[in-house]
Structure formats: C-alpha cells, structure tokens
Amino acid sequence: MSRNAESTAFRSALEVVRGVEPRVADAIAAELADQRESLKLIASENYASPATLLAMGNWFSDKYAEGTVGRRFYAGCQNVDTVEALAAEHARELFGASHAYVQPHSGIDANLVAFWAILADRVESPALRKAQARQVNDLTEADWFALRRELGNQRMLGMSLDAGGHLTHGFRPNISGKMFDQRSYGTDPATGLIDYDRVAEAAREFKPLILVAGYSAYPRKVNFRIMREIADSVGATFMVDMAHFAGLVAGKVFTGDFDPVLHAHIVTTTTHKSLRGPRGGMVLCGPELADQVDRGCPMVLGGPLPHVMAAKAVALAEARRPDFADYAQRIVDNAQALADGLLRRGATLVTGGTDNHLVLIDVSGYGLTGRQAEQALLDSGIVTNRNSVPQDPNGAWYTSGIRIGTPALTTRGLGAAEMDATAELIHTVLSQTTPGTGPDGAPSKAKYVLDPAVAESVGKQAADLLTPFPLYPAVDLG
C-alpha cells in the first residue's frame, strides 16, 4: 500500500464517522496523537499495521457465522469461510501446529475454549457423552447434577499471580477459578526463577488434570520440554498460554525446549501483543483435541467476529514474512538493553534481567509503590503498568512493581541506544518521586510528589526521543 493510499483510507474513514458522530471521530484522532507522543512501554500492547487495522473495518462485521468452515448455522458464509480458513492456514504454517482455531474473541475466550475442550476430552461422564452426542433432551436432572459436579471439581496447577502468572489460570476473581480446584506453583524466593523440581513435587502431590504454563510478568524463558515431562509424569494435560510471547515463538526466537507448540497438548494465545495483530485470541492443538476445540462456538463463544478473523489472517500473513523474525529478535535485544540500562543506574529487577520482551522493576528500592511509580511515569509521558512482584507486600492493587515491555517501541524502530536513554528517563522519574500523604497526614500508597518541572522535562525528552521514529508515518490525518 502506498503512503498516499494509507492517508486517504484513514482520512476518508474518519470523515464518514464524523458525519454521524464527530465526537467519536475526534476521539479516534486523539488516540493516534496520544500514541504518537508517548513512550509506550506496556508489555501487552503493540501497533498493528495499517493493513491489519483496515481489514477490521468492513462488511464482514455484518455477518453471523456460528459453526466452523463449511459447517455454519447461517447461510451465506462462503466469504467468511475464506478468511477463517486463511487465518487458520497461516497460523498452522507459522507455528508448526496441526490445527488452529481462530474464532476466540480474546485471550480469556481462547483459554476457556481450551479448558472446556480438555474437560470434554478427559472427564469420564455418561452425562457428558450424551451432551456431546447432542442428546441433551435425554439428560435427567440427576445427569445435569452429576455433570456440573464432575466438570466443576477438576484440578488445575498454574503459575501464581505474584510470580508472573495470569488471572485466567484458575484464580478466584476469574471464571477459571470458579471452574477448577486450583493450586499455584511459584518461583525460587532467592532468584525469582521457576524451580522445576518444586513444580514436579507440587504436581505429584496435587495430581492436576491440567498443568498450565505461561505468564504475563515473568521475564525469563520457560523450559516447556521439562514442563511436559512433569505433566506426563502425573497424567495431566499440558496447556501453554503464550499470549505474551507468541511473537517470539512466531519469529523463531524461542525454539527447541522453549517452543511451546512442540511440547504442549494445547496452546492458547492472543493475536495482538508481540504478535502485532488485531485484538483477539487463538487456539493451537493436535488432532486429538481438534474436534473439541472446534466446538468453541457455541460451547463457550458467541458468534465469531469475521472482520477480526480477516484482520488475523492479514497479521498472520505478515508474521510469516522474513522481516518478522528480525523484528522478534530486536524485541528481545531491546528488552535486554533496557534491563542493562536500568541495572547500571541502580534499579532492582526481578530475576536480575530478562530473556524475553519484558522487564519487571521492583520499585520498592525507590521507596515507592507500583501505583505511585505508574502515575509518576505517566505524568512524564512514559506509559507503563504496575504489577506485583514475587511475595509482594503491597498486594495486587498497589503492587511493588512496574512491568515494562519493548514490542511497541521496537515496532517504531527504536534500538539499543534509545533503550538506554529510556532507562535514564525512567530512573530520573522514579528517583525524583517521593511518597505522598493522605488527608490525615498518614503515608499513602497512592499519592506521590513529583516536581512538575521534572515531569515536563522528561516528557519533552521522551517526545524528542520518539521524533526520529514516527508512528504510522504514512498516515496523515491533516
């Protein structure tokens, strides 16, 4: 697509929207301006290509398409079949998977599809077999009671939240925590690293139906070969949620023991984050779970979103290009450069560094909570998010950590020198911020004090750092 074509496409789209609700058009334009001007260091965010963005704004949004390719419950889905089949094909080829299900609307939807596919495959239940055979009307009240009891009483072992795990891996505030009897494995208190012997011990003791690996705030690789051996030793299904690092798998930065698709029974992911696609989810599996996974709609999902599946097909096609592997490697190189810059300036990092796309700063060394640090950095034009650290004394709301990631800035073209400059800006803000007090004069975990002149200076330096790396340079909204 030419630079002129991209500008024309987005200008025209906003003009049409403005004709109906100008405030929405203004908000869209303002969001682009905000993203262009701030250092985006949220590890779970990225910038999708113009082609991916444009693929979502079309007539596919008007279609219902329950079912799967060639087996729809609505007529007139031949074009939806085309884009869904293309997205699945690109996913299979990109990740080396035998089956890909691209309908999930989000990462949690992908996880729910995986959970229910595993339950349906593993739980021995006459009532479940009747339901799967579509003999639902034959189920008695006793059958339904038994089914609820059996499916809601299975065990899951996953990474603890404070060690870097994710809410959707069996924790109470999420539906997964209501579905499963869940237990967590943590990390070594001294190193912050996964202790595989302790995971194996927990698995032998707990005997889970599902062993889950994957993370949202663990800055190291995971050895999926060892995790599969642990799962096999207790007869568990091994599931990996690679939502955060799917781009590193796609770009062949994570290979061998560190490639989850080679070792897991089933893999889930989002399609944004490091994969740089539209917001959505996806499930990869072998043939033994494919039929159950394809029942995701209506088992868990509502109607698929054909316009988002079209965008997934575009993004996955982009990820199969040779330059994506270079991009994935630069994500890791930048994260390590950022970590090195922070360490040289005295910051404390969980695990002492990173092997992947993210860095976790323990801001208690600056005398701050994560919430104070997050807001002070935002005041200074640096967008991050607070995050728990292992054995966090401040809990999951205030936290003691800041999670930062490099996928988005790498997309813009920033490199090692800019990562070092970014580390300097982060350190300047955190070292110049002090805790505030509440109305009663007591110390506050939320309020903070930062000289506005410091915030203004850092914000200007951040903007200057970004100037040589324009975001969506071909898009001029006029």
pLDDT above 70 for 127: no
Burial of 89 (C-beta count, 10 Å sphere; 0-12/13-18/19+): middle
| Catalytic pick among 6, 84, 109, 241 | 241
21 a catalytic residue:
no
- DSSP three-state, residue 345: coil
Q: Residue 210 is encoded by which pair of tokens? A: 């599902």
For 167-183, write each residue's pLDDT tens digit: 777 666 777 667 788 88
Give the pLDDT band (50/70/90) at residue 230. Answer: very high
Strands (E), 73-209: 99-101, 154-159, 180-185
Please indicate whether residue 131 or residue 450 has the higher confidence score (pLDDT): 450
CATH T-level assignment (fold) for domain 324-466: Aspartate Aminotransferase, domain 1 (3.90.1150)
pLDDT above 70 for 218: yes
pLDDT at position 235 is 93
185 a catalytic residue:
no
Note whether 247 and 260 are within 8 A (CB): no
- DSSP three-state, residue 130: helix
Q: What's the whole-model pTM score?
A: 0.91
DSSP letters, 15-82, are HHHHTT-HHHHHHHHHHHHHHHHSEE--TT-----HHHHHHHSSGGGG----EETTEESSS--HHHHH
How many percent of the chain have pLDDT more than 90?
78
Segment 121-132 shows an average pLDDT of: 69
| Catalytic pick among 45, 66, 229, 257 | 66
Instruction: Report the distance separating Cα 308 and Cα 297, nearest Å.
Output: 16
pLDDT at position 16 is 95
Segment 248-253 shows an average pLDDT of: 97
345 a catalytic residue:
no
pLDDT at position 245 is 96
For 289-327, write each residue's pLDDT tens digit: 999 999 888 888 888 999 999 999 999 999 999 999 999
Give the pLDDT band (50/70/90) at residue 163. Answer: confident
| Catalytic pick among 40, 72, 220, 273 | 273
- DSSP three-state, residue 290: helix
For 320-359, write each residue's pLDDT tens digit: 999 999 999 999 999 999 999 999 999 999 999 999 999 9
Closest CA to 126 of 107, 100, 101, 145: 145
| Catalytic pick among 64, 130, 420, 447 | 64
pLDDT above 70 for 360: yes
Instruction: Report the distance separating Cα 28 and Cα 168, nearest Å.
Output: 30
Give the pLDDT band (50/70/90) at residue 4. Answer: confident
**Helix or strand (DSSP H, E) at 447:** strand 443-449
According to CATH, where is 3.90.1150.10 located in the chain?
A: 324-466
| Catalytic pick among 155, 221, 279, 345 | 279
The CATH code of the domain at 59-319 is 3.40.640.10
**Helix or strand (DSSP H, E) at 281:** strand 281-285
Closest CA to 337 of 255, 421, 425, 426: 421
Q: How far is CA 31 from the centre of its chain?
A: 21
pLDDT at position 143 is 72
pLDDT at position 309 is 97
Q: Residue 168 is encoded by which pair of tokens? A: 């959707």
279 a catalytic residue:
yes
66 a catalytic residue:
yes
| Catalytic pick among 270, 369, 399, 411 | 270
Residues contacting residue 101 through CB under 8 Å, at least 6 positions apart:
88, 113, 282, 283, 284, 285, 293, 294, 296
Task: Give bridge partners of residue 39 from the DSSP assignment.
Answer: 382
For 175-216, write each residue's pLDDT tens digit: 766 778 888 998 999 999 999 999 999 999 999 999 999 999
Give the pLDDT band (50/70/90) at residue 138. Answer: low
Question: DSSP assignment, residue 155?
Answer: E
- DSSP three-state, residue 234: coil
pLDDT at position 165 is 78
Instruction: Report the distance separating Cα 467 and Cα 461, nearest Å.
Output: 10
327 a catalytic residue:
no
Beta-carbon count within 10 A of 442 CB: 7
Segment 278-294 shows an average pLDDT of: 95
Give the pLDDT band (50/70/90) at residue 50. Answer: very high
According to CATH, where is 3.40.640.10 located in the chain?
A: 59-319
pLDDT at position 94 is 97
pLDDT above 70 for 58: yes
Task: Give bridge partners of residue 349 from the DSSP assignment.
Answer: 361
Q: Residue 345 is encoded by which pair of tokens? A: 């300036």
The mean predicted confidence, pLDDT, of the chain is: 92
